[in-house]
Amino acid sequence: MSFLKTLFWIVVAVIVALFCFNNWTVVSINLWNGMILETKLPLLLAITFLVGLVPPLLLWHAARYRLRRLEQVTPSSVIVPATPSAAEPMGPAGPISTVPPGGA
């Protein structure tokens, strides 16, 4: 399985390298007050990818941290499971009638 994981990342790296090589062009971005930012297309796409990746990643890490802190406060080993009580014997059931419901 480790081999397939490594192979996958190698293929992804080759595809990204080929994309960067074939699209190494200057892109002009119009900012405020007439400012123009000229950057390479792969750099612009990498920044856009990171802008979309970082906020969910931070939320995920915060949720993991919160769950770990909650587990440290109330570890599962301290919580004692309820012991089942002894079942009470059932009394005799009512009389069994042969008359169907609604009368015959």
59 vs 52: CA distance, rounded Å = 12
Q: Which pLDDT score is estimated for 90?
A: 72
Per-residue model confidence as pLDDT tens digits over 19-29: 999 999 999 98
Residue range 69-96, pLDDT digits in tens? 888 877 655 555 566 666 677 777 667 7
Higher per-residue pLDDT: 56 or 102: 56
> What's the mean pLDDT when you consider all of the chain?
84
Instruction: State the pLDDT at residue 53.
Output: 94
What is the rounded distance in angstroms from the CA atom of residue 30 to the CA atom of residue 37? Answer: 6
pLDDT band at 56 (very low <50, low <70, confident <90, very high): very high
Beta-bridged to residue 93, according to DSSP, are none
Token pair belonging to 66: 């919160």
State if pTM tops 0.75: no
Q: Write 16-21 long-range contacts (CB < 8 A, 24+).
A: none
Is residue 38 within 8 Å of 28, Cβ to Cβ? yes
Query: Using CA atoms, how far apart are residues 78 and 80, in angstroms rounded to an integer?
Result: 6
Phi/psi at 52 (nearest 5 deg)? -80, -25
